[in-house]
Structure 1
């Protein structure tokens, strides 16, 4: 194994609450809609800008997008806590010389806010965001692009994610695909397609990679 590629929201960071909060602010202000977390989760796939452009009725989409990022940055510290176990895992993997990547549907702008806030900048060798691809997960485009940029073969990499779309993308990219439900908020409680392996805790996965 030469490379480990991670999803971000719900996998590397417990950012789903801040995503829900920012979207709820946007849809309340611009469409006067009170959306539940479940309703917002059903929109996931495209980047935040894509979600707003596709789902907001109000024509002021650019203003709505700006409000999203404003609320995302403003409430990040209150709603997203750093995870020491994940930080230690990333440091351990880097220390072992593994190449690390992120493939996320998030836009680069919000990912950068989170990476900076969680002091996870400069930890990854490649980052593919929703801005960098045409077809979001479950399409394997993002994972394949990361493999190409990392210069590793499918059999030399694993992809770790918390959503059905992650598992589908990893399996289609023909990499070892790992489903995780190790943060307080994750996207999928039961995967519709079985990952090769699944973990309920970061410590369990750490034992797997160190053993």
Structure 2
């Protein structure tokens, strides 16, 4: 940590326990239209942004998939759940964020989520002011595993990429951190550590408390 100045966080699956809710919503919507969504399919699109998610689903399920209508339903249901306060903050998130700030590190949020959902979740979680910079899906043109979102966050913090740690749960996010020449730490959520994640991350952890202990903050 002597050479580290900033820690960049993904949001879904890292700060908020959103991915499980996403999977449940998508599973129900796919069932409604006569298709089957599986966890293995869903983890391939985590953190990759709307356009990539749509392309992947169409590639898997075919051109007849009414994906735009399904996406609108997903967005509406997710916002209803967020508004009702049913998306909890992940265990250890508040603790690691506060410890980093206390010890003088800059923290940023770098998420593929759109700004309207991002703002809702941060407001309900009452944690928006803790971040020194926020970059969301509306701010970038290329989705993870492209490193654009992390490089933009580092630029906002005025910190060299080599002095940044990224905490991510998705394979795409870990690849993006690697491509940004940053230190990638994987935290397990829906996606457990596998050979691809191990190849591109510096280390994988079971939860944020383990990362906090590892960073000695």
TM-score range, shorter chain: 0.7 to 0.9
How many angstroms does 1:154 deviate by? 1.7
SS of aligned partner of 2:109:
strand
- Call closer, same or farther: CA 1:199–1:172 in 2, change over 3 Å: same
Aligned mates of 2:51, 2:125 — CA distance in 1: 22
Instruction: Decide whether the 8 Å contact of 2:48 with 2:172 is kept in 1.
Output: no
* 1:6-47 deviation line (CA, Å, top 9, x unaligned): 112222222111111332344445x44242233333333542
Coordinate RMSD, CA, aligned: 2.7
Shift of 1:191: 4.2
**Structure 1 CA distance for aligned equivalents of residues 164 and 101 of structure 2:** 14
1:4 to 2, 7, 10: 7
> Could you say which residue in structure 1 is the equivalent of 2:81?
75
| Contact preservation (8 Å) 1:49, 1:65 | no
Aligned residues: 206
1:142 aligns with 2:149: yes
Q: TM-score, normalised by structure 1?
A: 0.81
2:43 to 35, 41, 66: 41
Separation of aligned partners in 2, 1:113 and 1:53: 27
Equivalent residue for 1:154? 161
Q: Is 1:23–2:26 an aligned residue pair?
A: yes
Q: TM-score, normalised by structure 2?
A: 0.79
- Say whether the 8 Å CA contact 2:15–2:89 is kept in structure 1: no
| Secondary structure, aligned partner of 2:45 | coil
Query: Structure 1 stretches of 5 or more lacking a match?
Result: none
Give the 3-state SS of the residue equivalent to 1:208 in structure 2. Answer: helix
Q: Could you tell me how far 1:72 is from its partner in structure 2?
A: 0.7
CA distance, structure 2, for counterparts of residue 116 and residue 172 of structure 1 = 31
* 1:145-182 deviation digits (Å, cap 9, x = unpaired): 1111111112221111122222211111111221222x
